[in-house]
Amino acid sequence: MKWNKKHILYFLFGYVIFQFLWWEILLVKLHHENIEKEKYLNALNIADSRRFQEIEQKLKKEQRMKIIMVVGEGTVFLILILFGFYKVMKAYENERLMNERQMHFLLSLPHELKTPLSVIQLNLQTIQQNSNLNDSYKQQLISVSLNEVKRLNTLIDHLLITNKISKDKYPLNLQLINLSLRLNEWIQPYLLQKYISTSIQSNIEIKGDEFLIKMMIDNLLSNAVKFSDKFVEVKLYQLHDKVILEILNDGELITNVDKDKIFELFYRRPVDEQKGIKGTGLGLYLVKQIAQLHRFSIKVYTQNNCNVFQVVF
For 31-84, write each residue's pLDDT tens digit. 666 666 565 555 556 555 566 566 667 666 766 776 677 666 767 777 777 777
| pLDDT score recorded for residue 38 | 61
Q: Do 261 and 192 have their domain in common?
A: yes
Identify the domain boundary among 166, 199, 217: 166
Q: Do 82 and 160 have their domain in common?
A: no
The span from the CA of 221 to the CA of 74, in Å, is 57
Q: Do 71 and 178 have their domain in common?
A: no
Beta pairing, strands 195-200 & 231-239: parallel
The CATH code of the domain that includes 294 is 3.30.565.10
Taking 70 as the threshold, does the pLDDT of residue 235 lie above it?
yes
Taking 80 as the threshold, does the pLDDT of residue 214 lie above it?
yes
The CATH code of the domain that includes 134 is 1.10.287
CB 235 within 8 A of CB 243: no
Q: Do 240 and 270 have their domain in common?
A: yes
Q: Do 159 and 186 have their domain in common?
A: no
Identify the domain boundary among 37, 66, 97: 97
Which secondary-structure segment (H or E) carries 247? strand 242-249
Length of the chain equals 313
Q: Do 303 and 179 have their domain in common?
A: yes
Lowest mean pLDDT among 154-158, 266-270, 271-275: 271-275
| pLDDT score recorded for residue 42 | 58
Q: Do 76 and 143 have their domain in common?
A: no
Taking 80 as the threshold, does the pLDDT of residue 184 lie above it?
yes
| pLDDT score recorded for residue 108 | 64
Domains contained in the chain, number: 3
Grade residue 206 by pLDDT with cuts at 50, 70 and 90. very high
- Spatial CB neighbours of 310, under 8 Å, sequence gap ≥ 6: 244, 245, 246, 298, 299, 300, 301
Tell me which residue range forms the domain holding 54. 5-97
Q: Do 200 and 284 have their domain in common?
A: yes
Supply the pTM of this predicted model. Answer: 0.60
Going by C-alpha positions, the residue among 233, 232, 169, 244 that lies closest to residue 206 is 244
Q: Do 23 and 136 have their domain in common?
A: no
Q: Do 207 and 303 have their domain in common?
A: yes
The span from the CA of 168 to the CA of 209, in Å, is 15
Q: Do 140 and 190 have their domain in common?
A: no
The span from the CA of 29 to the CA of 31, in Å, is 5
Identify the domain boundary among 117, 140, 166: 166
CA 286 to chain centre: 12
Q: Do 59 and 180 have their domain in common?
A: no
The span from the CA of 295 to the CA of 281, in Å, is 22
